[in-house]
Structure 1
Amino acid sequence: MSTFGFTDRSFQILEELHDNNNREWYHEHKGEIRTLLQDPFAKMLDVVTDKLKNAKRPMVGGKQTMFRLYRDVRFSNDKRPYKEHVSGLLTPSGNKKDDTALMYAHLGADGGFIGSGFYRLETKVLNQFRDRIIEDAVEFRKVIRKIKKAGLEFAEIEPLKSMPRGYAEYAEHEHVGFLKMRSLVITQPQTRKVWLDGTIVKQLVAMHKATVDFLLFGLDAVGEGGAFR
């Protein structure tokens, strides 16, 4: 058993949920899901919170910032009732509804991933971010360099194929790729091992260290704008 309580059975449960995504199976295994997935995940977020309490921008997470496994299928063609992963946030306030620059942890059967950044910003807010990138190109270059030096990369999440409206004149800008992004998110895949041996904490702390300047850069531009939901 790991530091937090994750075991090989934790991943087996997620695999079985994938194959048996129905209410009958879920209720039969609800206790295991709580004991081997949800409780350990909450403990992990608590430990990361403690590690980041003296950071440039402290982040807080725990049971209260985790997402429920129930899916809202009302407006979806996918009628599976449950998510097949466990996930949660680290936020400045410790509130899951905190709509700002956030960190995200996602535990899947394959290991999952962690992320940091701004997700699907509203156009008005996104344009504020774009304006800051243009106005402070040198500072943004430093921020990006720090992220790349840490071996991290931005995720390609539905980027625009052409320049956004109002930014055609910046088609040759050094950060043009970022100007076309609708989400500015750094992600890093994780293995099962980091959850089992507890080093997922080090992974999250390292990502925070590498991305905190980017988060602060964005917050200077958009205020308490949007991020992972």
Structure 2
Amino acid sequence: MENSTIVPKSSLDFLTQLKENNNKPWFETNKPKYLIELNHIENFAGALLHELSKTDVLETASGKKSVYRIYRDIRFSKDKTPFKTFWGGSYTRATKERRGGYYFHIEAGNSFFAGGFWGPNAADLKRIRTEFAHDTEPMQKILSSKSFVSNFGTLQGEQLKTAPKGFDVNHEAIDLLRYKQFLVIKRFTDDEVLSPNFLEQALETFKNMRPFFDYMSEVLTTDINGASVL
């Protein structure tokens, strides 16, 4: 029986070959190989979804549904290569009560698992900043926790160069207030990706995002007085 809990070396090797031959004729010739590797990745994503669903509620229906298309949208891009050279996908948390999303990116020499808030709308961003300005301690406690630092290092994402409108540039939480995105990222070596316990490592990475997700979800579903806005 096929082992759905591993990423085989052939799946990384295919990406390396695709990077060197990023054109439609090569891809068409090698499509049978692509479909075999896609199946491996979908199986791995399905196994990870199954395990993650034991501790979180997700609306992503299957591993297959979580994996992104390999075809690039080149309409507005200067880079006209037709194919992505990584396996990527995401899991969506269910209902308005659970915010944040899980993302995986598997690529030779550049694999990482991430989570958070890629493009918060203006209202959500203002609500997050208002909370940080009001009381920065809960977030600082999460960011300085042993599990957060050992997994993710620091909070990542785009930041403003100055203070956001309506906030004091000298505020004690100015470093947090400048964020426009709130991302946590853990990188993996190829050896780690190909190891038999990678599924376990991936699952632990996602589970370690939960204190951050739970706090941000609480902020985004309440007003400044802590009353539900749902």
Q: TM-score range by the shorter chain?
A: 0.7 to 0.9
Map 1:67-78; keep pairs closer than 5 Å. Answer: 67-78=68-79
Number of residue pairs matched by the alignment: 215
* Structure (1 or 2) with the larger CA radius of gyration: 2
Question: Kindly tell me: are residues 86 and 194 of structure 1, through their superposed partners in 2, closer, same or farther at Cα, counting changes over 3 Å?
Answer: same
Please give the alpha-carbon distance, in whole angstroms, between the structure 1 residues aligned to 2:35 and 2:5: 13
Unmatched 5+ stretches in structure 1: 224-229
Question: Kindly tell me: are residues 120 and 160 of structure 1, through their superposed partners in 2, closer, same or farther at Cα, counting changes over 3 Å?
Answer: same
Alignment of 1:53 onto 2:53: yes
Partner SS for 1:150: helix
Question: Kindly tell me: are residues 183 and 88 of structure 1, through their superposed partners in 2, closer, same or farther at Cα, counting changes over 3 Å?
Answer: same
2:102 is aligned to: 103
Map 1:68-147; keep pairs closer than 5 Å. Answer: 68-93=69-94, 100-146=99-145, 147=147
2:226 is aligned to: none
How big is the alpha-carbon RMSD for the aligned residues of Structure 1 and Structure 2? 2.4
Question: Kindly tell me: are residues 129 and 171 of structure 1, through their superposed partners in 2, closer, same or farther at Cα, counting changes over 3 Å?
Answer: same
Partner SS for 1:113: strand
1:217 is aligned to: 215
Question: Kindly tell me: are residues 5 and 199 of structure 1, through their superposed partners in 2, closer, same or farther at Cα, counting changes over 3 Å?
Answer: closer
Unmatched 5+ stretches in structure 2: 222-230
Query: What percent identity do the matched residue pairs reach?
Result: 21
Partner SS for 2:200: helix
Question: Kindly tell me: are residues 158 and 139 of structure 1, through their superposed partners in 2, closer, same or farther at Cα, counting changes over 3 Å?
Answer: closer
Question: Kindly tell me: are residues 194 and 34 of structure 1, through their superposed partners in 2, closer, same or farther at Cα, counting changes over 3 Å?
Answer: farther
- Are the equivalent residues in 2 in contact too, given 1:73–1:80 (CA < 8 A)? yes
Partner SS for 1:177: helix
Counterpart code for 1:202: E
Q: TM-score, normalised by structure 1?
A: 0.83
Query: Residue 121 of structure 1: CA displacement?
Result: 1.6
